[in-house]
Amino acid sequence: MPPLTDQSPPPLHAPSSGHAPVCAAPLVHTRGDRRTLEFMPGDVQSEMRLSRPAALVLAYCRAIMCFALFVPRPRAIVMVGLGGGSLAKFCYRHFPRARITVIELRADVIALREQFCVPPDDARLTVVHADAVDWLAAHPACADVLVIDGFDTAGLPPALGTARFYGDCRSALRDGGVLVANIFSYDPRYAGMLERLRLMFNDRVCWFDRIAGNNRILFAVKAPARLDPAARLPRALRLQRWVARRQGLGHRVLNRLLAHAVVAWLQHPFNRSK
């Protein structure tokens, strides 16, 4: 277990990307059983319980795991943004048959992985120090689930919300796969990003309304290139159509209960062998 002290590594330069300036070193604070990662004082990016490192503490992380409703048994999960590794640790533990790849732009964030109990790289988990814009463009059909959660001190970098980037995300997904995008609902670029997602995914975009406060978690499903009208729709598309009728399930409390239920279901021992 890492020592219970506040630690911040020296600032390191990340690969040149044009969308993320070199920032001050991230801050790690430990108070009792709680450890947080912050890019600015008080701006919590990730939170972990030292007694349960793989548990999901923040509501938006639980909301992201609702991708399991669309793709319950992914074989390949790609994540943009490591942070404190909450999503990577949870998926590593509860999707034992999945290959997990995490793309992180900042070397100083990767350097904190031991402080946040992120497992070392092995046959099932790889943390890649790279610009996600370039990496995804070079890796088509690599993911059943693609999570975009790459924030910096200024919020979501503009390059992670362009039409070109969403097009590369669609290409990176396998047929029936799902893109999960974490966007602040008050981001002035939100409407434009939603419209670009709808365009790139043929309007197969939905969300669970108010499931995680100001974090709007969008789910975009990639349909097969050709759909046989007589064939049964893939599970992801059937669920997406049902949810999209009302742009979500509509009630904040029920949606948060849904996220808790999905996480509890994934944590159940019977899922480990499947």
Model confidence pLDDT, tens digit, residues 81-138: 999 999 999 999 999 999 999 999 999 999 999 999 999 999 999 999 999 999 999 9
- Is beta strand 76-80 parallel, antiparallel or unpaired with respect to 99-104? parallel
Tell me the average pLDDT of the chain. 85
142-151, 247-256, 257-266: segment of lowest average pLDDT:
247-256
Q: Report pLDDT digits (tens) over 183-238.
A: 998 899 999 999 999 999 998 898 888 899 889 999 999 987 665 655 555 666 66
This prediction has a pTM of 0.85
Q: What's the rounded Cα separation, in Å, for the pair 209 and 49? A: 27
CA angle 119, 260, 142 (to 5 degrees): 50
Q: What is the CA radius of gyration of the chain?
A: 18
Whole-number pLDDT of residue 229: 56
Whole-number pLDDT of residue 233: 59
Q: What's the rounded Cα separation, in Å, for the pair 242 and 222? A: 16
Among the listed residues 36, 94, 37, 45, the one whose alpha carbon sits nearest the alpha carbon of residue 65: 94
- Is beta strand 43-49 parallel, antiparallel or unpaired with respect to 76-80? unpaired
pLDDT over 90, % of the chain:
63
Whole-number pLDDT of residue 224: 78
pLDDT grade for 63, boundaries at 50, 70 and 90: very high
Q: Report pLDDT digits (tens) over 131-160.
A: 999 999 999 999 999 999 988 777 789 999
Whole-number pLDDT of residue 41: 85
Which active-site residues does the annotation give? 149
Tabulate helix, strand, coil % of the chain (nearest 5): 30, 25, 45
| Assigned token pair, 40 | 């600015």
Using the predicted structure, report yes or no on whether residue 11 has a pLDDT greater than 50: no
Q: Domains of the chain (ranges plus CATH)?
A: 57-271 (3.40.50.150)
Strand partners, 101: 78, 126
Whole-number pLDDT of residue 81: 96
